[in-house]
Structure 1
Amino acid sequence: MDIKEKNIGQTDRMIRAVVGALLILWALAGGPHWAWIGILPLVTAGISFCPAYKLLGMHT
């Protein structure tokens, strides 16, 4: 994988960042343990790369 490769567009990044942050805040506020999954969309938004998109040949 080329770390400079990007397959997530600006709108997708913003949505991932917001959803990820909300899930993490929910987990911190006493929500279910699975809400920590919010780390994944937050990280993928930060690096503008989604491995699942790569496997599916998608770009947004």
Structure 2
Amino acid sequence: MSTKEEVLRLIKDLPDGVTIEDVMRELYIRSTIDKGIQVLNSGKVVSHEQVKEKFGKRLY
């Protein structure tokens, strides 16, 4: 599905009476989730255990 199709579907699924700000918020949320999934799929993430090992007592 193209980006345009995804945006149109998102807008179509929103209730009547939404504001432009509501639409922008939904697009921002969707974009943020998509970016997170891309990072996860690329393997550029560290586990909770790795963070604990790296930062140790400084976090707790």
TM-score, scaled to structure 2: 0.39
Higher relative contact order (Cα pairs below 8 Å, separated by 6+ residues): 1
The structure that has the greater radius of gyration is 2
TM-score, scaled to structure 1: 0.39
Structure with higher helix content:
2
